[in-house]
């Protein structure tokens, strides 16, 4: 049987992926550009095509809190948010991770105020890297649908039991229509069995959950939480392989390499900008330029070894960040650089800050990044951290 | 089941089972008594939710767990939302015989938790929310909350030459909750434990959201001897400062009206937190009491006994 193919938006793909994963409780609060996900899921519950309870919570804080409540008695829970909403639920993010509740959440990557902006960048989710959630970043609508389904398999694995955040770029992905292949429900059911967890309250086995600890016990809790995310690495790879076997799409696990062989200069990307970068890599390869692309899919667990291995063969590496830790550098840059400290002779790295607040990152911008670090003369190399696509010159020497 | 068919709890038929013991609450703690009595009525088919606060601190420090039933600590603002998630999750899983009950303090309810609570009532989720009111943030060391009465000395409303302690009256929590059109709400006191337990029992029979506001004395925070905890909780009712009441189907009912009020000054003078008050402030408190009673007697029903 040929899989059904529909022309839908990224948000539609999230909702359809969620329906295929059969969540039992959905608690969500609307926020641009995630809103359509909430609308679609409500429609699916209303028309009976999704057998779930839809909770109209009054805030994102309650959205995550209610999702924890449902998960704490063994119900599969789904929520979705973006930007300010993600920050409003920040307390609950840490709480859900510490409680080991395998909730799956879609986050539409969007800028953070001030200044207010409804448009995309990745400042929101990257600010929550320490919250204890697994974080994946997707490149298109098909990947987001597939990842919502995979997310439950990974999060609910008994060795993992960790909440899972699926990130897609606001508007660029949430509102763009693409052809998406919709898996067959029966096959998804086979791939993703009903949720079953030992970590729940029941009348047969009453349980106290959400402990208070003294300094005597706290460190061991945190050790286990860290270990669970590290232990998700082989699970992520197995699930990717099994998904490929059943549905014909493979994403490569923690990272995807694109024309990295014999590449002297690499760009490292996260999310939708990868698609633009692929086109530029193809063009520049045709021109004989030794360029390649490393798409980081998972920020947590971070692919330390893979990043180091792939980058070790390059002379220079540019890291593309749609965020900045003010007074410092982009977060992807910090993480990649840390991975490279495992190498004896690490390549030189540069950070390109771009796409903030929805500023378009064009093919020309990507080409400019490559060109700047392809430079033979090291005196002409750019600053370590630089903004790309600015309207004004920031070079005070000019 | 109609309300009149609900079997009343009394001293003789009160369940012997205990579900909350071995905790580290201070001697005379009214809140821990409220939790203990409520769980006796609610029973073992329950999920208790408690936010960060006194009851979490005294009953939930790993590995010394004080709940025999299912229990979980929520985020501070998230008592009601976590309860709602449990109740809706239970519905989704086809669990019908259950009670989701929350125990949150005055600050956790009237201040930081009121948004989530409002949401739960709006959705009419099947939860029982019990606010134990000890009239300040006690777990953090006696700071003013939205339910701290006028004239209370707390660590953030010091009484001195310029201020008499707290300068505002308590937020009107009961009527704020009732204004949602909630299925059932009540005001109780640990000084009248059988009345409290019957109100919990009434809440237990609700299909939607129910709320109980229970006065819970705090010897540590109030500066009273621990063996006077129950007596002061009775006196609060008897002097008219704490009105036992119910709200159901759009109607308010006073469930206990003292024939004559005992002197407010006596109630205040027994407590370290009020001992600094001048006559003028005692008069202000008495005036506020009288105005409140004048108002409620006009529109609230009196329970026939």
pLDDT (tens digit per residue) in A11-36: 999 999 999 999 999 999 999 999 99
CB contact under 8 A, B84 and A62: yes
How far is residue B284 from each of residues A173, B76, B106, B222, measured CA to CA in Å?
A: 62, 33, 23, 20
Contact A260, A313 (CB under 8 A): yes
Tell me what the pLDDT averaged over chain A comes to: 96
Helix, coil or strand: residue A211:
coil
Transcribe B131-185 into DSSP letters. EEE-SSBTTTTSB--TTPPTT---SSS-BSSS-BS--SPPP-HHHHHHTTT-SEE
What DSSP state is assigned to residue A216? T
Q: Report the residue of B45, B84, B88 to disrupt the A interface, i.e. the one with the largest count of A CBs within 10 Å.
A: B88
Distance CA A251, CA A187 (A): 19
Average pLDDT over every residue of A363-377: 93
CB neighbour list of residue B121: distance below 8 Å, 6 or more residues apart: B177, B180, B182, B209, B211
Distance CA A221, CA A226 (A): 9
Predicted local distance difference test score (pLDDT) of residue A378: 78
> Least CA distance to B84: which residue of chain A?
A66
How far is residue B239 from each of residues B236, B243, B297, measured CA to CA in Å?
A: 6, 9, 16
CB contact under 8 A, B75 and A65: yes
Residue ranges, CATH 3.40.50.970, chain A? 4-247
Tell me the longest C-alpha to C-alpha distance in chain A.
74
pLDDT level of residue A295 (50, 70, 90 thresholds) = very high
Q: Is B271 left (phi over 0), alpha (psi -120 to 50) or beta?
A: beta
Predicted local distance difference test score (pLDDT) of residue A377: 78
Assign domain A4-247 one CATH number from 3.30.70.640, 3.40.50.970, 3.40.50.300, 3.60.20.10. 3.40.50.970
Predicted local distance difference test score (pLDDT) of residue B2: 77
Predicted local distance difference test score (pLDDT) of residue A376: 80
Q: Which residues of chain B fall below pLDDT 70?
A: 1, 305
Q: Report the residue of A66, A74, A131 to disrupt the B interface, i.e. the one with the largest count of B CBs within 10 Å.
A: A66
> pLDDT per residue over A169-209, tens digit each?
999 999 999 999 999 999 999 999 999 999 999 999 999 99
Could you tell me the sign of the dihedral formed by the alpha carbons of B236, B242, B243, B246, in that order? negative
CB contact under 8 A, A209 and B82: no
Q: Is the pLDDT of residue A395 over 80?
A: no
Predicted local distance difference test score (pLDDT) of residue A396: 59
CB neighbour list of residue A9: distance below 8 Å, 6 or more residues apart: A36, A141, A174, A175, A176, A177, A178
Q: Supply the Cα-derived Rg of chain A in whole angstroms.
A: 21
Distance CA A316, CA B138 (A): 58
Transcribe A318-381 into DSSP letters. EEEES---TTS--HHHHHHHHHHTTSSSPPEEEEEE--GGG----HHHHHHHHHHHH-SSGGG-
Q: Report the residue of A71, A73, A74 to disrupt the B interface, i.e. the one with the largest count of B CBs within 10 Å.
A: A73
> Hey, how many other C-beta atoms are within 10 angstroms of the C-beta on B144?
22
Domains in chain B (CATH in brackets) are 26-302 (3.40.50.970)
Please calculate the CA angle A304-A384-A272 and round it to the nearest 5 degrees. 55
CB neighbour list of residue B249: distance below 8 Å, 6 or more residues apart: none
Nearest to A63 by CA among B155, B80, B137, B61: B80
Predicted local distance difference test score (pLDDT) of residue A2: 58
> Does the global pTM surpass 0.90?
yes
Residues forming a β-bridge with B162: none
Helix, coil or strand: residue A66:
helix
CB contact under 8 A, B72 and A213: no
| Residue B73 φ/ψ, nearest 5 degrees | -85, 130
How far is residue B182 from each of residues B118, B124, B248, B259, B289, measured CA to CA in Å?
A: 10, 7, 8, 30, 25
Q: Is B291 left (phi over 0), alpha (psi -120 to 50) or beta?
A: alpha
Beta strand B245-248 pairing with B251-254: antiparallel
> Least CA distance to A75: which residue of chain B?
B89
> pLDDT per residue over B117-144, tens digit each?
999 999 999 999 999 999 999 999 999 9
Predicted local distance difference test score (pLDDT) of residue B206: 97
Nearest to A371 by CA among A269, A281, A295: A281
Beta strand A164-169 pairing with B60-61: unpaired
> Least CA distance to A50: which residue of chain B?
B92
Contact A295, A143 (CB under 8 A): no
Contact A200, B69 (CB under 8 A): no
Query: In this complex, which of B62, B71, B85 lies closest to A66 when CB atoms are compared?
Result: B85
> pLDDT per residue over A138-170, tens digit each?
999 999 999 999 999 999 999 999 999 999 999
Predicted local distance difference test score (pLDDT) of residue B103: 98
Distance CA B163, CA B153 (A): 10
> Least CA distance to A196: which residue of chain B?
B93
CB contact under 8 A, B75 and A73: no
Distance CA A153, CA A170 (A): 25
| b/e per residue A258-293 (b: at least 16 CB within 10 A) | bbbeebebbbbbbbbbbebbbebbeebeeeebbbbb
> Hey, how many other C-beta atoms are within 10 angstroms of the C-beta on A397?
4
CB contact under 8 A, A57 and B95: no
Beta strand A298-300 pairing with A134-137: antiparallel
Distance CA A259, CA B234 (A): 79
CATH number of A255-387: 3.40.50.920
From the CA of A385, how many Å to the nearest CA of chain B?
39
Predicted local distance difference test score (pLDDT) of residue A309: 97
Average pLDDT over every residue of A93-99: 98
Could you tell me the sign of the dihedral formed by the alpha carbons of A372, A350, A275, A314, in that order? positive
What DSSP state is assigned to residue A116? P
Residue A33: asked if its preceding bond is cis (omega within 30°), the reply is yes
pLDDT level of residue A1 (50, 70, 90 thresholds) = low
Predicted local distance difference test score (pLDDT) of residue A165: 99
Residue ranges, CATH 3.40.50.920, chain A? 255-387
pLDDT level of residue A397 (50, 70, 90 thresholds) = low
Query: In this complex, which of A55, A61, A212 lies closest to B84 when CB atoms are compared?
Result: A55
User: What is the helix (H) or strand (E) element at residue B116, kind and residue range?
Assistant: helix B114-123
> Hey, how many other C-beta atoms are within 10 angstroms of the C-beta on B302?
12
Distance CA A175, CA A170 (A): 7
CB contact under 8 A, B65 and A92: no
Distance CA B81, CA B99 (A): 15
Q: Report the residue of B24, B35, B82, B95 to disrupt the A interface, i.e. the one with the largest count of A CBs within 10 Å.
A: B82
Contact A38, A174 (CB under 8 A): no
Chain B residues within 8 angstroms (CB to CB) of chain A: 44-45, 47, 49, 56-57, 60-63, 65, 67-75, 77-78, 80-93, 95, 98, 115-116, 118-119, 122-123
Transcribe A169-191 into DSSP letters. ETTTTTT-EEEEEEPPHHHHHHH
Could you tell me the sign of the dihedral formed by the alpha carbons of A376, A379, A383, A387, in that order? negative
From the CA of A204, how many Å to the nearest CA of chain B?
10
Predicted local distance difference test score (pLDDT) of residue A398: 53
> pLDDT per residue over A318-367, tens digit each?
999 999 999 999 999 999 999 999 999 999 999 999 999 999 999 999 99
| b/e per residue B196-216 (b: at least 16 CB within 10 A) | bbbbbbbbbebeebbbbbbbb
């Amino acid at each position: 049987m040929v899989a059904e193919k529909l022309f839908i938006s990224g948000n539609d793909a999230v909702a359809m992926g969620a329906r295929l994963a059969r969540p039992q409780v959905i608690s969500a609060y609307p926020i641009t550009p995630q809103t359509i996900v909430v609308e679609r899921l409500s429609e699916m519950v209303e028309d009976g095509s999704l057998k779930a309870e839809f909770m109209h919570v009054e805030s994102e804080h309650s959205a995550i809190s209610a999702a924890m409540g449902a998960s704490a008695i063994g119900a599969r829970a789904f929520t979705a948010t973006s930007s300010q909403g993600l920050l409003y639920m920040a307390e609950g993010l840490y709480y859900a991770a510490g409680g080991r509740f395998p909730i799956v959440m879609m986050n539409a990557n969007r800028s953070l105020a001030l200044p207010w902006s409804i448009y995309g960048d990745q400042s929101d989710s990257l600010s929550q890297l320490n919250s204890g959630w697994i974080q994946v970043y997707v490149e298109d609508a098909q990947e987001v649908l597939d990842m919502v389904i995979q997310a439950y398999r990974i999060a609910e694995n008994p060795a993992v039991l960790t909440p899972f955040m699926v990130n897609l770029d606001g508007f660029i992905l949430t509102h763009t229509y693409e052809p998406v292949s919709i898996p067959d429900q029966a096959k998804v059911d086979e791939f993703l069995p009903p949720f079953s967890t030992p970590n729940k309250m029941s009348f047969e086995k009453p349980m106290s959950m959400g402990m208070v600890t003294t300094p005597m016990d706290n460190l061991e809790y945190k050790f286990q939480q860290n270990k669970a995310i590290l232990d998700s690495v082989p699970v992520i790879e197995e699930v990717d392989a099994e998904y490929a076997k059943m549905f014909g799409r493979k994403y490569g696990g923690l990272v995807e390499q694109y024309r990295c062989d014999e590449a002297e200069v690499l760009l490292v990307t996260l999310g939708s900008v990868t698609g633009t970068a692929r086109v530029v890599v193809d063009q520049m390869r045709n021109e004989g330029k030794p360029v390649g692309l490393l798409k980081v899919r998972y920020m947590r667990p971070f692919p330390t070894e893979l990043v180091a291995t792939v980058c070790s063969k390059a002379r220079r590496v540019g890291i593309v960040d749609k965020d900045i830790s003010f007074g410092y550098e982009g977060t992807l840059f910090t993480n990649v650089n840390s991975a490279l400290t495992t190498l004896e002779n690490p390549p030189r790295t540069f950070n390109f800050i771009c796409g903030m607040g929805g500023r378009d990152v064009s093919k020309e911008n990507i080409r400019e990044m490559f060109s700047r670090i392809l430079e033979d003369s090291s005196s002409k190399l750019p600053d370590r951290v630089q903004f790309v696509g600015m309207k004004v010159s920031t070079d005070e020497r000019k | 089941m109609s309300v009149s068919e609900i079997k009343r709890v009394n001293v003789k038929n009160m369940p012997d089972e205990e579900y909350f013991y071995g905790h580290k609450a201070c001697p005379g703690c009214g809140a821990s008594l409220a939790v203990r009595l409520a769980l006796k009525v609610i029973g073992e088919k329950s999920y208790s939710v408690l936010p960060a606060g006194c009851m979490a601190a005294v009953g939930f420090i790993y590995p010394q767990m004080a709940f025999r039933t299912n229990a979980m600590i929520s985020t501070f603002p998230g008592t009601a939302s976590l309860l709602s998630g449990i109740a809706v999750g239970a519905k989704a899983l086809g669990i019908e015989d259950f009670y989701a009950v929350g125990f949150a303090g005055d600050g956790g309810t009237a201040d930081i938790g009121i948004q989530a609570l409002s949401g739960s009532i709006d959705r009419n989720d099947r939860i029982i929310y019990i606010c134990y009111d000890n009239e300040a943030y006690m777990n953090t060391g006696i700071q003013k909350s939205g339910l701290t009465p006028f004239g209370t000395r707390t660590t953030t409303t010091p009484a001195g030459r310029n201020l008499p302690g707290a300068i505002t009256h308590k937020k009107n929590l009961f009527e704020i909750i009732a204004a949602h059109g909630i299925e059932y709400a009540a005001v109780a006191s640990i000084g009248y434990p059988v009345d409290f337990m019957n109100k919990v029992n009434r809440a237990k029979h609700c299909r939607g959201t129910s709320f109980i506001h229970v006065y819970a004395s705090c010897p540590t925070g109030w500066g009273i001897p621990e063996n006077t905890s129950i007596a002061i909780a009775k006196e609060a009712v008897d002097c008219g400062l704490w009105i036992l009441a119910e709200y159901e189907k759009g109607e308010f009912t006073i469930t206990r009206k003292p024939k004559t009020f005992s002197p407010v000054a006596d109630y205040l003078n027994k407590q370290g937190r009020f001992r600094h008050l001048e006559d003028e402030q005692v008069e202000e408190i008495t005036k506020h009491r009288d105005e409140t009673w004048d108002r409620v007697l006009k529109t609230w029903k009196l329970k026939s006994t």
